[in-house]
Structure 1
Amino acid sequence: MLNILSILIGLVALLLAIPSFLPLLGMGNWLVGVIALIGIAVGALSSKKGGRNFCLIVLVIAILRLMLGGGLV
């Protein structure tokens, strides 16, 4: 059950990350990072690792976009 919840949290974070790729909306990746971290924590409590790994991928995407934009844009 926690794995499914972690996947759902990861999907929400991924949907919020899509508009954050546009210029001047990159600060949304900070929110995506926090949501993905919550998904990772929930996924760590699960016996399966799929949801946790999905949230890790979303977090890496958000961090890479933040690095490209200098942290703000």
Structure 2
Amino acid sequence: MGNLLAYLFGLISLVIVIPAQIPFLGWGNWIALPVIVCGVICGALSSSDGGRNFCLVVLLIAVVRLSLGGGVI
């Protein structure tokens, strides 16, 4: 059940992170970060690793984009 929740949180955050890759929409990554962290926690509590790893990949995308944009842009 936790793995399914992790995938759900990951998909929701991915829908937020993809448009946030456009310049001047980087603030969307700040909205997605708490959702991603909830997904990582749910994935860590489950017996399977797939949902957690998916959330970690989405987290990596969001953090790299935030670091390239200086945290805002």
Which TM-score band applies after superposition, normalised by the shorter structure?
A: over 0.9
Runs of 4+ in 1 over 6 A off after TM superposition: none
Which residues of structure 1 form unaligned runs of 5+? none
Partner of 2:66: 66
User: Normalising by structure 1, what TM-score?
Assistant: 0.96
Partner of 1:53: 53
Q: How far apart, CA to CA, are the structure 2 residues paired with 1:14 and 1:55? A: 9
1:32 Cα offset (Å): 1.3
Which residues of structure 2 form unaligned runs of 5+? none
Identity of aligned residues (%): 52
Tell me if 1:17 matches 2:17: yes
Q: Pairwise CA RMSD of aligned residues?
A: 0.6
For 1:23-42, list aligned pairs within 5 A.
23-42=23-42
User: Normalising by structure 2, what TM-score?
Assistant: 0.96
